[in-house]
Chains A and B, each alone.
Chain A
């Protein structure tokens, strides 16, 4: 199953090799022309003589950690790669480096804490990864400074039609993009699997420059906080509510014509959809939007509870509906579309 393979793959920002290889293998028989660039973006090029140049983008990278120091006791200290809340790190198993050396992030025993410590966040600079090495030399036999680290989370399905795993942001988007690329359209279509989104939307900008699209859709995994203790007006998205269309966030404003067409198609075809209710955050759409002389963009997202943590939760139906809606949109522009 592609979603399982992709979410269990090792790919923090700047180290997307495994994800790239899986996607290329998955699409081998559907895509004949691949373009790569200096940053590591993987672009599936489905050329056609006429019609608008359409770019679809999903990012391959995930949030993670990077080994910054190995101390004399053989413990690994680390930097964060991308936006991780320090509070999710404690008491978790991780994999260090592409050989996946197992490690754990522990914490001082509760017995040794002062009561007030229990209400304080342990900053990530005070945490460390234990790989069972008893000295610096022993640790350096297995890992090196600069090694990336990912959460050791297994993909699984649970509850009613839900999946749990790491990196749904944005491997779920990669699955959607891969499924769409398995079909043929009568206009030039470019599927960009981008790098380095989590550390500043780095890959999408250069990919858009190279593709020079007439319009772009960004496929994301986005925040979802429809849980107890939140008021409904605070929800960014609702799990199971269908693909979430972004009208605005901190990085871009969605193209109105594209949004209108998506809504029309969803309603006519009984595909559930929702608008993202918050305007915080930003994604690759922000960079593509301002590429060259400007590109009309819209972001369509799969809601993910507990995003950017070791274990996020998504609805498989939301992913299927996102695939269906994007395919419908692409079919509709086969007949011509003006943004």
Chain B
């Protein structure tokens, strides 16, 4: 499958934090085509395994991209059949007005989050964002029918189709962080052309948006010699200081700081230069706000690195990323994996 098609089907699938089953099933199936084995753990992480070549102890490298997405959860069905809701992960309430949604009840139900018509909005209210607790989902069904089909706790996603903006930029919900799952897929395909001694664990993690939980347990289970997280960072756009962003289409942003092992970082930069892969640098003194923050302190500690894909409008339903960035990141990861041997891993303990 082409990486773009894989990404399209992933982002259009459902997988709110804690309810990742559907997207996980799809990822498992596709990873099965490029891995030697695919399994799941107790928290629902999808773990693809690709064996390295050679005898003796092989280094283990874990790649983590989270497959969960932010979303909504039903908290109340009112007496008219409208649904009240809360957020799962960090949702900007202003992105929800006039949005089509899918309520994942006993069956998938299309709904609309409406608002008062402009003709009826008093002037003093026009400059106020509508708080989430005043928004409601309209299913267009009588209350009895709604109660048959929907339960408090059901999750809700914005209904959104993948769209290509020009040749390189693509947009949809859930690019954060399925773009990273696509990077890992790109890397796995690239690895088929390369000789690598390291075993690769390709992990699509769960519950990142609510507290990095999938990464915590999958890292424990795998106990890798090196753990690399792939996530999105803020793509350059007007209204946001340039130093807080990375340019779109100019390659992965490679982080360095306390959350990253300096030798893994150095190796990534060295290989990027060697293979002419463009990249930008992402200085992050403390927490990266990604799965990597959890991965680094699992068991007795894991050497780590972080690659980020620039993404505009993060946590809206029109997140945009560059396919070029996804491809370049996948290639860089593959070259990195091919470069790792037992001696490199041993060196990571020598400061």
Report B69-100 CB contacts with A as 1/0, cut-off 8 Å: 00000000011101000000011111111111
Binds B, one of A7-15, A52-60, A224-232, A289-297: A224-232
B99 touches A91 (CB 8 A): yes
Interface residue tally of chain A, by bracket?
Answer: 35 or more
Whether A229 contacts B136 by the Cβ 8 Å rule is yes
Question: Is B237 part of the contact surface with A, judged by Cβ < 8 Å?
Answer: yes
Q: How far is the CA of A218 from the CA of B99 in the complex (A)?
A: 30
CB closest chain-A residue, reference B110: A158
Q: Which residues of A contact B114 (CB under 8 A)?
A: 227, 305-306, 309, 313
Nearest chain A CB to B163 CB, angstrom units: 5
Q: Are B234 and A309 in contact (CB under 8 A)?
A: no
> How far apart are the CA atoms of A104 and B161 in the complex, in Å?
12
Interface residues of B in 197-212 (CB under 8 A from A): none
Is A108 part of the binding interface, using a Cβ–Cβ cutoff of 8 Å? yes
Q: Decide if A109 touches B238 in the complex (CB within 8 Å).
A: no
The answer to whether B117 and A223 touch across the interface, beta carbons within 8 angstroms, is: yes
The proximity string for B residues 304-345 relative to A, scoring 1 for CB distances below 8 Å and 0 otherwise, is: 000000001111111110000000000000000000000000
- B119 and A91 contact, CB distance less than 8 A: no
Known: A109-B313, A305-B114. A227 touches B136 (CB 8 A): yes
Q: Is the CB of A83 within 8 A of B318?
A: no
In contact, B165 and A132 (Cβ under 8 angstroms): yes
B120 to A311, Cβ gap below 8 A? no
B234 and A112 within 8 A (CB): yes
Q: When the two chains form their complex, are residues B98 and A105 in contact, meaning their CB atoms are under 8 A apart?
A: no
Contact A104 B163 (CB under 8 A): yes
Chain B residue at smallest Cβ distance from A315: B140
Interface hit among B14-22, B125-133, B218-226, B272-280: B125-133
The answer on a CB contact under 8 Å between B128 and A278 is: no
A311 to B99, CA, bound (A): 7
B240 touches A112 (CB 8 A): yes
How many Å lie between the Cα of A109 and that of B115 in the bound state? 22
- Is there an interface contact between B119 and A83, defined as CB atoms closer than 8 Å? yes
Contacts of B318 in A (CB 8 A): 91-93, 104-106
Among listed A36-44, A159-167, A170-178, A205-213, interface-contacting one = A159-167
Q: Are B163 and A106 in contact, CB atoms less than 8 angstroms apart? A: no
B12 at interface, CB cutoff 8 A: no
Inter-chain contacts of B91 with A (CB < 8 A): 110
Say whether B94 contacts A102, CB under 8 Å.
Answer: no
A108 pairs with B239, CB closer than 8 A: yes
Say whether A107 contacts B313, CB under 8 Å: yes
Collect the chain A residues with CB atoms within 8 Å of residue B217's CB.
Answer: none
Contact A134 B130 (CB under 8 A): no
Let me know if A90 and B316 touch, CB within 8 A: yes
For A160, the closest partner residue in chain B by CB is: B141
Given contacts A104-B165, A111-B314, A164-B112, contact A87 B120 (CB under 8 A): no
Task: Check A106/B138 contact, CB under 8 A, given A228-B78, A308-B118.
Answer: no
CA distance A152 to B172 in the complex (A): 13
Chain A residues with Cβ below 8 Å from B29 are none
Closest residue of chain A to B101 (Cβ to Cβ) is A311
A200 is an interface residue with CB less than 8 A from chain B? no
Q: B226: shortest Cβ distance to chain A, in Å? A: 27
A88 at the interface (CB under 8 A from B): yes
Q: How far is the CA of A285 from the CA of B338 in the complex (A)?
A: 73
In the bound complex, residues from chain B placing their C-beta under 8 Å from that of A103 are: 165
Q: Which residues of B contact A307 (CB under 8 A)?
A: 117, 119
Give the contacting residue for A73; candidates B92, B238, B319; CB below 8 A: B238
Tell me if B145 counts as interface (CB < 8 A to partner A). yes
Q: Is the CB of A84 within 8 A of B118?
A: yes
Cβ of B248 within 8 Å of any chain A Cβ, yes or no, is yes
A85 at the interface (CB under 8 A from B): yes
Q: Among B90, B94, B120, B314, which residue has its beta carbon within 8 angstroms of that of A121? A: B94
User: From A236, which residue of chain B is reached at the shortest CB distance?
Assistant: B120
For the complex, what is the distance from the CA of A50 to the CA of B127, rounded to whole Å?
55
Interface assignment of B134: CB less than 8 Å from any CB of chain A: yes
List, in ascending order, chain A residues with CB within 8 A of B43's CB: none
Residues from chain A with a CB closer than 8 A to the CB of B315 are 109-111
Query: Interface stretch among A122-130, A185-193, A258-266, A330-338?
Result: A122-130
> Within the assembled complex, what's the spacing in Å between the Cα atoms of A207 and B147?
49
Contact A118 B93 (CB under 8 A): yes
CB contact list, A48-105 vs B, under 8 A: 71, 73, 75, 83-88, 90-93, 102-105
Q: Are B142 and A160 in contact (CB under 8 A)?
A: yes
Once the chains bind, are A87 and B115 in contact (CB under 8 Å)? yes
B166 touches A313 (CB 8 A): no
In the complex, whether B33 has a CB less than 8 A from a CB of chain A is: no
CB distance from B169 to the nearest CB of A (A): 3
- How long is the Cα–Cα vector from A143 to B114 in the complex, in angstroms? 31
Verify A104–B118 contact, CB threshold 8 A: no
Which of A107, A120, A128, A134 sits near B95, CB closer than 8 Å? A107
A163 to chain B, nearest CB (A): 9
Q: Is A113's beta carbon under 8 Å from chain B?
A: yes
B164 near A102: Cβ-Cβ < 8 Å:
yes
The list of the 8 closest CB pairs from A to B, nearest first, reads A159-B140, A132-B165, A106-B313, A132-B169, A132-B166, A109-B314, A104-B318, A309-B98
Chain A positions within 8 Å of B, measured between CB atoms, are: 71, 73, 75, 83-88, 90-93, 102-113, 118-122, 126, 128, 130-134, 138, 142, 152-153, 156, 158-160, 162, 164, 223-225, 227-229, 234, 236, 278, 280-281, 305-311, 313
- On B, residues with C-beta under 8 Å from A are 78-80, 82, 90-100, 109-112, 114-121, 126-131, 134, 136, 138-142, 145, 158, 160-161, 163-169, 171, 234, 236-240, 244, 248-249, 289, 312-320
Can you identify 11 A-B contacts, CB atoms within 8 angstroms? A86-B126, A108-B313, A110-B90, A130-B313, A130-B320, A132-B165, A160-B145, A164-B112, A236-B117, A280-B119, A311-B100
Q: Besides the contacts A112-B244, A131-B165, what 18 more A-B pairs have beta carbons closer than 8 Å? A: A75-B237, A88-B98, A88-B115, A90-B97, A102-B163, A107-B316, A131-B166, A159-B138, A160-B140, A160-B141, A225-B116, A227-B82, A227-B138, A229-B136, A305-B138, A306-B112, A306-B114, A311-B98
